Structure 1
Amino acid sequence: MRILKLLFDFYINSSIHVGLSCYALVRMTQHMFHISYEETIANFAFFGTVVGYNFVKYDALARAKKAQMRTELKLIALFSLCSLALVGYYFFLLERITQITAIAFLSITLLYTLPFFPNRKNARNWVGVKIYIVALCWAGVTIGLPLLNAEVAITSDFFLKCIQRFILIFVLVLVFEIIDMSNDDPYLQTVPQKIGAKMTKKLGITLMILFYFLEFMKSNFDVKQLIVNFVLVVLVSLSLLFVNKKRSKYYTSFWVESIPILWWLMVVFI
């Protein structure tokens, strides 16, 4: 059991699980826009997410050298380096416009992590900004990059799906913010810090209802997608209703981050 727990913790802590969530959302976009499966962009998103999240999580620790690296952190660093090499490989297989856009999102990630201006905090610590940066990057990577790489025409459906994806990620991040309420610096002014956990839950559920009804505005919606989206809305809403500051880290880092994967699996197997 101890070995299984160590493997599971490595799976979570090395950002493999969140990488699979990003991969699933890219595959979901390909399904929605009838793009034949193209592994380059999906794999680029997976390995890019692994590298990006590990950089955000462990960069400060590595630079400050506050603690000697444990075996797990060394393995995560090695895995991240391998993932970085694969990101580079898949990057050069992308279309030029996709590469340029990907660099733009990389720049936002670096701004989110590193303080570029003297005596200023990074974007992660800007008041009330964090959740919007995360939602924007995820929407851009999982909607914008796959469509650009497949050279799909930009229509009203594209903008509609971008709004839906932004809402989905925004609400999922709210779950994280509720759990982190007591640990986050009050200066950050996260949504739960400003309006409270109860109102944050109401806001999230309201946004998910909006997410669902936006589907009816598509140029041609199908019943299967409406059913799948309804299940998604229920899952996200339940994750909000049952979240509290005492939940373990696995509540968000595994169960909540599994929701995009389950959403994609539903369209695959239903």
Structure 2
Amino acid sequence: MDNPIHKNIGLGYALLHFYLYSSFHIAICAVAITSYSYFTLSHQIIDYHYIRFVGASTLLLYSLHRIIGINKSDSYATKGRFAIIIKYKSHLIIYSIVSALYCLYNFYTFDWNRKLLLAIPAALSLSYSLPIFIGGKRLRDFHFIKIFLIATCWALITCTIPYYESIKYQFDIPHNYRTIFLATIDRALFIFAITIPFDIRDRDVDKSNNVQTLATKFSDKSLKRISLIALIVATIISMLLYTQDAHSTLTLLPIILTYTITSFLVYLTHQRRSDYFFTGLLDSTMILPLILFFLYVSYMSI
């Protein structure tokens, strides 16, 4: 007779794998961190239309990335997360088609100003995943570009565009543009910091694909120092934004606590850790500010 406890554990792992590797988790992360950008602008209306677009486009891009990526990593096809992704390949194809249709419709309904703002990050994001270059290369397959491309695209889409569209009609233009610039650097540094552990995880895969990254050139110790420095600088910028009224106490404290927790996770990083640590915990740091914000608001209202 099958042990019901083992059955429940097996079902739990199946649900966890589906959530993490069907790209829903990373899409929720994108929705959460974009939403938080709007919450820092507490006097503005939250654009749920744009937030839904960000979630759907993230689901599309990461599904495409995983479908194409497993075809470029044949030697790892039966190992770890690659075997799980192959299991959900048909799901990923369906999600790609549905989310692509949703994104195309929404992009069509956007005004021209937003379309222009999205043009560059959208082109970079698609080039990251699609093999459109000579020899079937993707943009991520060029040496050293991957981590900087990820940080730039995530910062532009989840921070720069919400900030720009929210404050572009205010009168203090120099102050606003300075705020947008600082907020973008803050977000880019955070994304850069949490992407470094993924570079460490992917070192062997990148070497097998003849792709040079920071992790193929530097030791884990050096990379973790770089990540921690990025988080320290991001914390300083967040405090500076607080002095410029771009953050309130309600929004600053969750950010500082998130960066502190992220620093601890970076410190614990090593190449052989379970992928649950990377895809599960490190990606989830993008959800943390929103969770901590609501917890703080709930506590203050007691």
CA distance in 1, matches of 2:62, 2:109: 22
The residue that corresponds to 2:225 in the other structure is 202
* Cα distance change of structure 1 residues 93 and 182 upon mapping to structure 2, 3 Å threshold: same
Structure 1 residue 118 corresponds to structure 2 residue 137: no
For residue 131 of structure 1, what is the aligned residue in structure 2?
Answer: 147
- For residues 149-193 of structure 1, the C-alpha deviation after alignment (integer angstroms, 9 at most, x for no partner) is 446354211110000000000001001111222332174332232
1:268 is matched with: 294
User: Residue 198 of structure 1: SS of its match in structure 2?
Assistant: helix
Displacement of 1:29 in angstroms is: 0.7
Shift of the alpha carbon at 1:62? Answer: 6.6
Q: Does 1:97 align with 2:97?
A: no
Match of 2:38 in 1: 30
For the structure 1 residues 61 and 198, does the alpha-carbon distance in structure 2 shift closer, same or farther, using more than 3 Å as the test?
A: closer
**Residue type of the alignment partner of 1:250:** Y
Contact 1:94 1:149 in 2 (8 A): no
User: Which blocks of at least 5 consecutive residues in structure 2 are unaligned?
Assistant: 1-7, 78-84, 170-175, 297-302
Residue aligning to 2:123? 107
Contact 1:21–1:261 (CA under 8 A) maintained in structure 2:
yes
* 1:108-257 to 2 correspondences below 5 Å: 108-119=124-135, 121-150=137-166, 152-153=168-169, 154-185=176-207, 187-218=210-241, 219-220=244-245, 221-257=247-283
Consecutive unaligned residues of structure 1, counting only runs of 5 or more, are none
Is the Cα–Cα contact under 8 Å of residues 48 and 87 in structure 1 kept in the other structure?
Answer: yes
Q: Distance between the aligned counterparts of 1:11 and 1:56, measured in 2?
A: 16
- TM-score, with normalisation over the residues of structure 2? 0.81
Using CA pairs under 8 Å that are at least 6 residues apart, name the structure with larger relative contact order, 1 or 2: 1
Equivalent position to 2:24, from 13, 16, 23:
16
Structure with max Cα Rg = 2
**CA deviation vs aligned residue, 1:62-92 (integer Å, no higher than 9, x gap):** 799999x966321222122222222223323
What is the aligned-residue identity percentage?
20
Deviations 1:117-155 (A, max 9, x none): 434732111111100111110001101232344463542
For residue 104 of structure 2, the aligned residue among 43, 67, 88 is 88
Q: 1:65 to 1:106 in 2, by over 3 A?
A: farther
Amino acid at match of 2:285: I
- Note if contact 2:64-2:92 (Cα within 8 Å) is conserved in structure 1: no
Which SS does the other structure have where 2:206 is aligned? coil
User: Which residue number corresponds to residue 95 of structure 2?
Assistant: 79
CA contact (8 A) 2:164 2:180 kept: no
Greater CA drift, 132-141 or 103-112: 103-112
Q: What is the aligned length?
A: 269
Identify the range of structure 1 (72-81 vs 27-36) with the bigger mean alpha-carbon deviation: 72-81
Q: Structure 1 residues 150, 157: closer, same or farther in 2, change over 3 A?
A: closer
Provide the aligned C-alpha RMSD in A.
2.5
Q: CA deviation at 1:214?
A: 1.1
Deviation of the 1:232 alpha carbon: 1.1
Give the secondary-structure state (helix, strand or coil) at the position aligned to 1:178: helix
Contact between 2:67 and 2:92, CA under 8 Å: does it hold in 1?
A: no
DSSP 3-state at the match of 1:245: coil
Which residue identity lines up with residue 225 of structure 2 in the other structure? K
For residue 96 of structure 1, report the CA deviation from its aligned partner.
1.8
TM-score scaled by structure 1? 0.90
